[in-house]
Amino acid sequence: MADIYPWQQGIWQQLSSRSQHAHAYLLHGPAGIGKRALAENLVHLLLCQRPEGGKACGQCKACQLLAAGTHPDYFLLEPEEPEKPIRVDQVRELVGFVVQTAQLGGRKVLLLEPAEAMNLNAANALLKSLEEPSGDTVLLLISHQPSRLLPTIKSRCVQQACPQPTAAQARTWLAGSLPDESVEALDELLVLSGGSPLTALRLQGQGVREQRAQVVEGVKKLLKQQVAPGQLAESWNAVPLPLLFDWFCDWALLILRYQLARDEEGLGLTDMRKVVQYLAEKSTQPKVLAMQDWLLLQRQKVLNKANLNRALLLEALLVQWASLPGPG
C-alpha cells in the first residue's frame, strides 16, 4: 500500500473521518495523480478490524490478509491485459461476489480501475450492484476520464474529484523520485505528463524524452521533404499511439494559438517552437482547424481502443501534416 501523497492529505482527512460511508464512490481526476494509492488506503481502512486515528492498524487479521493478497472480502477488477476493455464476464464475476456474505463478518470492498474501460455490456451489468449492493458493501470506482462513463454509472456513485498537485508539489515529489535528473529535465517531464508526477515518473521509465526527440527530428525532416510519410510512420513503431496523438493535438493547438495571439511565450516546449511558429506563419487557419478536428477524432478512436491500422493511420496523419504549409 502506497503512502498518501502530500497533495491528498485534505481529501484523505475527509474520507477517513467519515463515520458512515456511501455504497459507491467514483474517484476521478487525471491519470498519474495518485488516485489508486488513495483508493487502496481507503480499502485498508474500510476492511481493518481495529482502525486507529483514521488509519488501518496493519496488525489485525484483515490487514494481514490484505497485505498477503488473500482477503476473502476484497475484490479487484482490472482489464485482463493492459489497454484492453473490461469484459461483461468479469463484471458478472464481480456481481457474484457482491451478493455473497462477507466471510470475515465485516464489509466487502470492491475496487474497479479504470471504470471507463468497461464496455457497454459490462457497464450495464454493473448498474444493479451499484444501485442496490448486498449487505455492507462499498464499491470504489477509479476513473481517469469520467466523461466516457455512462450517466447512469455516475449518478449511482458519490463523485469525488481527486486533487492535482500544485506545480511546486509535483516538482518536489518528482525530484525526490528522480534525484539524478536536472531541473530542466524534471520540468520537461511534467509538461509531457500534463503536470501529473506519477505519469511523469512512468514516462521517464519508458524513455519518453528519447521518443519525443525521435518524433521531433522526424517531423522536421518531413517538413524538409527529407523523409517520406510512410517511412517515418514505420520508424515510430516503438512510440505509443496515445503519446503521438497527444503531441500532434498539442502542436495543432499551439499553431492556432500563435495565429490568433502572436504570443511567442506560448509556443510550448523549446524542441518544437520554431516548427510551430513556422507552421503558424505558413498555414491557413481553415487547414489547421481541419487538421485539429481530424486529430481529435482519431485520438478518441485510439483512446477507445478501436481496431485501427497503425501504419495507415500514422501515414495519413503525416501526409496531412506535411501539407499544412501552403495555400488552403
Which residues, 6+ apart, have CB-to-CB distance to 30 below 8 Å? 144, 164, 194, 195, 196, 199
Q: Which residue do the cell numbers 481553415 mark?
A: 286
Sign of the dihedral through C-alpha 192, 196, 200, 202: negative
What percent of the chain has a predicted confidence (pLDDT) above 70? 99
Return the C-alpha cell found at 272: 518544437
* pLDDT tens digits, 281-327: 999 999 999 999 999 999 989 987 788 999 999 999 999 999 999 77
pLDDT band at 93 (very low <50, low <70, confident <90, very high): very high
pLDDT band at 82 (very low <50, low <70, confident <90, very high): confident
Q: What is the pLDDT of residue 176?
A: 95
* pLDDT tens digits, 197-239: 999 999 999 999 999 999 999 999 999 999 999 999 999 999 9
Overall pTM > 0.75: yes
3-state secondary structure 86-155: ECHHHHHHHHHHHCCCCCCCCCEEEEECCHHHECHHHHHHHHHHHHCCCCCEEEEEEECCHHHCCHHHHH
Q: What is the pLDDT of residue 119?
A: 87
Say whether pLDDT at 1 is over 70: no
Residue 234 identity (one-letter amino acid): E
Return the C-alpha cell found at 217: 527530428
Say whether pLDDT at 275 is over 90: yes
pLDDT band at 26 (very low <50, low <70, confident <90, very high): very high
pLDDT band at 54 (very low <50, low <70, confident <90, very high): confident
Tallying the residues shown for the chain, one arrives at 328
Range 185-194 contact pairs with CB under 8 angstroms and sequence separation of 24 or more: 185/209, 188/269, 191/269, 192/269, 193/32, 194/30, 194/32
Say whether pLDDT at 81 is over 90: no
Residue 9 identity (one-letter amino acid): Q
Residue pair 77/112 in contact (Cβ under 8 Å)? The answer is yes
As a whole number, mean pLDDT of residues 1-29 equals: 91
Q: What is the pLDDT of residue 200?
A: 95
Helical axes 310-322 vs 208-223, angle rounded to 10°: 50
Architecture of the 209-322 domain: Up-down Bundle (1.20)
Q: What is the pLDDT of residue 66?
A: 94
Q: What is the pLDDT of residue 245?
A: 96
As a whole number, mean pLDDT of residues 270-279 equals: 95
CATH of domain 21-161: 3.40.50.300
Sign of the dihedral through C-alpha 140, 144, 145, 148: negative
Q: What is the pLDDT of residue 304?
A: 78
Q: Which residue has the higher pLDDT, 129 or 297?
A: 297
Return the C-alpha cell found at 183: 531541473
What percent of the chain has a predicted confidence (pLDDT) above 90? 82
Give the domain ranges of the chain.
21-161, 166-205, 209-322
Say whether pLDDT at 328 is over 70: no
* pLDDT tens digits, 156-212: 999 999 999 999 999 999 999 999 999 999 999 999 999 999 999 999 999 999 999
Task: Report the C-alpha gap between 98 and 192 in whole angstroms.
Answer: 40
